[in-house]
Amino acid sequence: EDGYRLWLRYDRITDESVRSGYVDRFATFRMGTGVDSSSATLRAAIDELRTGLAGMLGTNLAPARGAQKSGSGELTFARVPADQIGAEGYRITDTDGGLRLSASDDAGFLYGVFHLLRMVQMGESLEGISIEEQPEKAVRILNHWDNLDGTVERGYAGFSIFNWHTLPEIIDQRYTDYARACASVGINGSVVTNVNANALIFREDYLDKAAALADVFRPYGIKLYLTARFSSPMELGGLDTADPLDPAVMAWWKEKVDEIYTRIPDFGGFVVKANSEGQPGPREYGRSHAEGANMLADALAPHDGIVMWRAFVYNSDPDADRAMQAYEEFVPLDGTFRDNVMVQVKNGPIDFQPREPFSPLFGATPKTPLLLELQITKEYLGQGTHLVGLAPMFTETLEADTYQQGKGTTVASTVRGLAGVANIGTDRNWTGHPFNQADWYAFGRLAWDPAMSAEAIYAEWAALTYDGEPEVAQTIVDMLIESREICVNYMTPLGLAHQMATGHHYGPGPWVSNLGRPEWNPAYYNRADSNGIGFDRTESGSNALAQYAPQVQAMFADPKTCPPKYLLWFHHLPWDWEMQNGEILWDELCRRYQEGVEGTEWLAARWQSLEGKVDPERHQQVTQYLEVQQREAKWWRDASIAYFRSLSGLPLPEGVPEPEHDLAYYKGLSYPYAPGIQPQW
């Protein structure tokens, strides 16, 4: 059991009575009128169904012959008008005449087939079912931070699955299996290149390679997108400017876009990171982000392509509160973007931290469609080695109430779609840590239906991915659900953020204060000194709080009532500040680190209880990872406490052990094995 099959394992059902029940339901399939069974998507759906049922039932689902229906063992595909079932949606019903899968387009049939297969995998009854599903969001897209040289920025599961060297001739089976996995959870777009973009992708030979990928994805309802480096007209086109208002620049992009569409007729569009972390952009020419985005949007509009313009930008004033910059830049631009531009906003105002409040941009640009960007790869949450389920973090953001259009204006309701930074690589099991598959799964399910609970999603994933008694799945669900808070506690409790060491963001570095821009430094975020700790974002500080709706401000403004999980995000407080539970801040902070460490021990014990109940290969793998996580949680606790104690001067509260080493030791660690940096002596 090497994990390659992800949640699409299709092993034979061992309970004979359950298996034979399904066998009776899936004897034949029939295409109703108007269903084009020769379409590539229909063929992919039928192939998947036959493969899945052959595996689970050991039978061969055959096409029906003749006009005579074969009764309850027949599955009928029925096309219905779009006013009955909308785009990509489907209905599954069970009547006397057997199961009926209805949709108004091919993608709907594909998603319906995956739904049926999931039900069989999970042993659910099909008797009398009546299910109707419609994706809640139109844009459900993975962002691969994959470079053309095969490396993956912030990737912890090997190299890029897209092999630009051997494309377009060599079509790896992985491309198809990737598309199958994405489609099975409703993902309908893939950005195959890094946001830190390379203009080379627009050269003819690379476009042929991209077109070959698009051909594999198309039957699975997945559109291909590319990242657009803003200076491409200079680097590739030989122009001396990339000014978005320059006619030669506009003409270059228009021609390039037309050329892309001759190769990829259903090309999705561009993602752009501009004027951020060294990436070129319109600001270099005194133009706004809207002027930059609109120029690309005009080139794409005749082909129905879209621009996803990222809000992760930097302000020219290095002293500005980092948490305020995206809002300050984009709110004034509301109403000036073309219709086919969406602004892509990270879940929190800073950068994919273990916990951040939601970005104040959500709901604040009523005339500009937004996308929610989530990071599935765990850059700041233990990277490749820690078991941390992200669904509770994703749902925390989706459910957060912005109050922008009154009570109930959840973040989910303010966005047109979800973009997830992928955690996929060439590792045999795709994601490195076996449990990281669950985050890919959860992202897709939430993009389809943001109202799903983290528990329900993980219950599906666990049941599909591991065999065994219900107790196995329940234990896995519990571990995934609890793990996020455990990680928050050992890394950045009580609203702290960005305490990771320089560059690679692996391991603790709360003392770091020597980096080029103030807002790259952990010390900038914790603001700890002998008086206290935390970032004052209230009126007496940066007043970032004022970017939120008044009701949200009221929740966070007073440190006495601010939820502890956001306390130090919004407030700078003395070490002996009395918390809502009566503890002083220092004691509570230390206890949280300790709880995080104890949480990793709990995770290991839960997993240990499954020995012999899950397959030995993955059991052993996860056990090894959990050992690393336990060790590194202690490192986080000890390094953080050693540093903060050097400022607070207070004794450790009862139950919190003395750090294993002194502060100098933790400061001196050179991270020889941190991903993304060259080992050095």
What residue ranges bind ligand BDP (CB under 6 A)? 153-154, 195-196, 273, 277, 312, 351-352, 379
Is residue 225 within 8 Å of residue 192, measured between CB atoms? Answer: yes
Nearer to ligand BDP, 93 or 151 (CB): 151
Closest distance to ligand BDP from the beta carbon of 276 (Å): 6
Structure token pair of residue 591:
């206890």
277 part of the active site:
yes
Give the list of residues 6+ apart from residue 132 with CB closer than 8 angstroms, or none. 85, 89, 90, 91
598 part of the active site:
no
Closest distance to ligand BDP from the beta carbon of 278 (Å): 10
Distance CA 76, CA 93 (A): 10
Residue nearest ligand BDP, CB atom distance: 351
Closest CA relative to residue 22, chosen from 90, 122, 105: 122
Distance CA 246, CA 287 (A): 11
Nearer to ligand BDP, 379 or 427 (CB): 379
Closest distance to ligand BDP from the beta carbon of 329 (Å): 15
Distance CA 397, CA 410 (A): 8
Nearer to ligand BDP, 149 or 277 (CB): 277
Closest distance to ligand BDP from the beta carbon of 505 (Å): 6
Partners of residue 63 on adjacent β-strands: 29
Distance CA 470, CA 462 (A): 10
Closest distance to ligand BDP from the beta carbon of 273 (Å): 5
Nearer to ligand BDP, 118 or 154 (CB): 154
Nearer to ligand BDP, 7 or 362 (CB): 362
Phi-psi region of 522 (alpha: psi -120 to 50; beta: other; left: phi over 0): alpha
Which residue out of 106, 136, 243, 379 is catalytically annotated? 379
351 part of the active site:
yes
Which residue out of 146, 243, 329, 351 is catalytically annotated? 351
DSSP at 495: G
Nearer to ligand BDP, 252 or 520 (CB): 520
Nearer to ligand BDP, 196 or 413 (CB): 196
Q: What is the 3-state secondary structure (H, E, C) of 351-419?
A: CCCCCCCCCCCCCCCCCCCEEEEEECCCCCCCCCCCCCCCHHHHHHHHHCECCECECCCEHHHHEEEEE
Structure token pair of residue 377:
């790869």
Closest distance to ligand BDP from the beta carbon of 195 (Å): 5
Burial class (CB in 10 A: 0-12, 13-18, 19+), 582: exposed
Cα dihedral 171→176→179→185 (10° resolution): -160
Which uninterrupted H or E stretch holds 117?
A: helix 106-121
Closest distance to ligand BDP from the beta carbon of 198 (Å): 13
Nearer to ligand BDP, 218 or 346 (CB): 346
Distance CA 271, CA 318 (A): 26
Other CB atoms within 10 Å distance of the CB of residue 651: 11
Phi, then psi, of 16 in degrees rounded to 5: -60, -40
Which residue out of 258, 277, 627, 660 is catalytically annotated? 277
Distance CA 393, CA 356 (A): 9
Task: Return the sign of the alpha-carbon dihedral for residues 346, 351, 354, 360.
Answer: negative
Q: How far is CA 672 from the centre of its chain?
A: 28
Structure token pair of residue 324:
């305020």
Closest distance to ligand BDP from the beta carbon of 9 (Å): 33
Is residue 239 within 8 Å of residue 245, measured between CB atoms? Answer: no
Angle 314-317-321 from CA coordinates, rounded to 5°: 70
Closest distance to ligand BDP from the beta carbon of 136 (Å): 25
Closest distance to ligand BDP from the beta carbon of 554 (Å): 31
Structure token pair of residue 615:
């397959």
Nearer to ligand BDP, 33 or 678 (CB): 678
Distance CA 28, CA 25 (A): 9
Closest distance to ligand BDP from the beta carbon of 280 (Å): 13
Distance CA 404, CA 402 (A): 5
Q: H helices within 244-380, ranges in order?
A: 247-263, 289-300, 325-330
Nearer to ligand BDP, 312 or 511 (CB): 312
Give the CA distances from residue 17 to residues 14, 23, 95, 633, in Å, rounded to whole numbers and listed in that order.
Answer: 9, 10, 21, 47
Closest distance to ligand BDP from the beta carbon of 402 (Å): 22
Nearer to ligand BDP, 273 or 571 (CB): 273
Exposure class string for 152-185: b at 16+ Cβ within 10 A, else e: bbbbbbbbbbbbbeebbeeebebbebbbbbbbbb
Nearer to ligand BDP, 28 or 196 (CB): 196
Distance CA 495, CA 526 (A): 9
Residues with active-site annotation:
277, 351, 379
